[in-house]
Amino acid sequence: MSNSLVIENICKQFGSGQGVTQVVKNINLTIPEGKLVCFLGPSGCGKTTLLRMIAGLETPTSGRMSMTGRDLTPVPASQRDFGMVFQSLALFPHMTVAANIAYPLKLRGMDRAGQEKRVSELLQLIQLQHMTNRSVAQLSGGQRQRVAIARALASAPKLLLLDEPLSALDAKLREAMQVEIRQLQQRLGITAIMVTHDQREAMTMADVIVVMEHGRIAQIGTPLEVYRDPVNEFVADFIGLGNILPAHPSGPNSVQLAGGQQIQVDASDKPARQFPAGQEIRLLIRPEDVCLQMDQKINAAENCIPGEVTFIRDVGSSLEATINCSGFELTVAASPRDVPGLKLGMPVMARLPPHSCKLIDASPRA
């Protein structure tokens, strides 16, 4: 039987009577064996509460969780065989690296020789063999991070749960640790769930991203799926940079933008005719999909919009520009060598290739 974690109709409310808050609302989800799944969403959307219920640190108000067919609901946290790494790491600062890693093994009654063998394996795994007897207080942030992960892996858990484990690190170290944790997870083939509100982190690390909004799942998909085919404006906006332009359906495969421009969309994608006539929808186009032409005269063909450059950020390897297109602005990402001589105030033509234009539902206004 597969070691997938199955989550069915899980709900969580806090408080009672008038003060009741529904924090997690009817979540159904399968965490596939051997995959790294990220719970991603804005602050307060219920990610941590869901993770804590999986860990057994919080009891669901209703619903069921099971692994290998075994109902987890009555199983206390200490008997779930899950490893956890919290944002705070919760290491014992005055104990050595080895003592920290051995701690869960000691709690389980493993003999001294067994503990030493396992600690040595784990130290090798995280490449801190030379720091066995150093106090945790004398380690760098990244080294402490690795010790926390080794401790969570000590008892060979069935599931590794990571709650914003990198948020205390500076940007560079954080990126290095993202790669390190991902490589470790893939090498061990362990199933892992990570909570993050950082979409770049989720895109870098996850096999599957679960995007959450107000206690519900907005979308489940691979990083590419949620980036390329977001189900609605919330997901499109949360994942990556995007031009999300108000539009109205104007034909079977065309929409009209705020400035009156007619835009053709790809008939093989969700066509404009699927939306009720007159409904305000959104046209999504990612910055790297907008083609910038430096001469407004060259091409007044399909889906070309004249505009003026109002902002340029050139970081050498890539360039980002804002184009004011009477009625809306477009963000464009390009390679600097594709747009030589681009200058502020320059008239340009922005082409929106039909196959790169996605039509999506507008999020309800709060």
Q: Is 234 in the site for ligand ATP (CB under 6 A)?
A: no
Amino acid at 310: T
Residues of this chain, 24-63, that bind ligand ATP according to CB under 6 A? 41, 43-49
Return the closest-CA partner of residue 310 out of 283, 330, 334, 296: 330
Give CA torsion, residues 164, 169, 173, 175, to 10 deg: 30
Question: Structure tokens of 186?
Answer: 């893939």
Sign, CA torsion 122/128/132/135: negative
Q: How many residues bind ligand ATP (CB under 6 A)?
A: 12
Q: What x/- string results for residues 255 through 274 when contact with ligand ATP is judged by CB under 6 A?
A: --------------------
Q: What x/- string results for residues 85 through 104 when contact with ligand ATP is judged by CB under 6 A?
A: --------------------
State which residue, 21 or 133, has the beta carbon closest to ligand ATP: 21
**What is the rounded distance in angstroms from the CA atom of residue 285 to the CA atom of residue 241?**
9
State which residue, 209 or 255, has the beta carbon closest to ligand ATP: 209
Q: Which of 197, 282, 286, 358 binds ligand ATP (CB under 6 A)?
A: 197
Which residue do the tokens 């809306």 mark? 328
Return the closest-CA partner of residue 35 out of 175, 182, 211: 182
State which residue, 43 or 317, has the beta carbon closest to ligand ATP: 43
Beta strands 191-196 and 36-40 are parallel
**What is the rounded distance in angstroms from the CA atom of residue 64 to the CA atom of residue 186?**
28
**What is the rounded distance in angstroms from the CA atom of residue 308 to the CA atom of residue 346?**
6
DSSP state of 277: T
Least separation in angstroms between residue 203's CB and ligand ATP is 17
Least separation in angstroms between residue 52's CB and ligand ATP is 7
Q: Is 199 in the site for ligand ATP (CB under 6 A)?
A: no
Least separation in angstroms between residue 149's CB and ligand ATP is 20
State which residue, 13 or 120, has the beta carbon closest to ligand ATP: 13
Residues 313-342 as b/e (b if ≥16 CB within 10 A, e otherwise) read eeeeeebbbbbebeebebbbbbeeeebeeb
State which residue, 46 or 56, has the beta carbon closest to ligand ATP: 46
Q: Is 133 exposed, middle or buried (0-12, 13-18, 19+ CB in 10 A)?
A: exposed
Residue nearest to ligand ATP (CB): 48
Contact 11, 62 (CB under 8 A): yes
Least separation in angstroms between residue 194's CB and ligand ATP is 12
Return the closest-CA partner of residue 208 out of 187, 189, 191, 183: 191
Vertex 313 angle, CA 311 and 314, to 5° = 135
State which residue, 89 or 339, has the beta carbon closest to ligand ATP: 89
Q: Is 14 in the site for ligand ATP (CB under 6 A)?
A: yes
**What is the rounded distance in angstroms from the CA atom of residue 150 to the CA atom of residue 121?**
10
State which residue, 195 or 321, has the beta carbon closest to ligand ATP: 195
State which residue, 178 or 243, has the beta carbon closest to ligand ATP: 178
State which residue, 128 or 195, has the beta carbon closest to ligand ATP: 195
Q: Which of 23, 67, 284, 292 binds ligand ATP (CB under 6 A)?
A: 23
Least separation in angstroms between residue 88's CB and ligand ATP is 12
What does the binding site for ligand ATP look like in residue numbers (CB under 6 A)? 14, 21, 23, 41, 43-49, 197
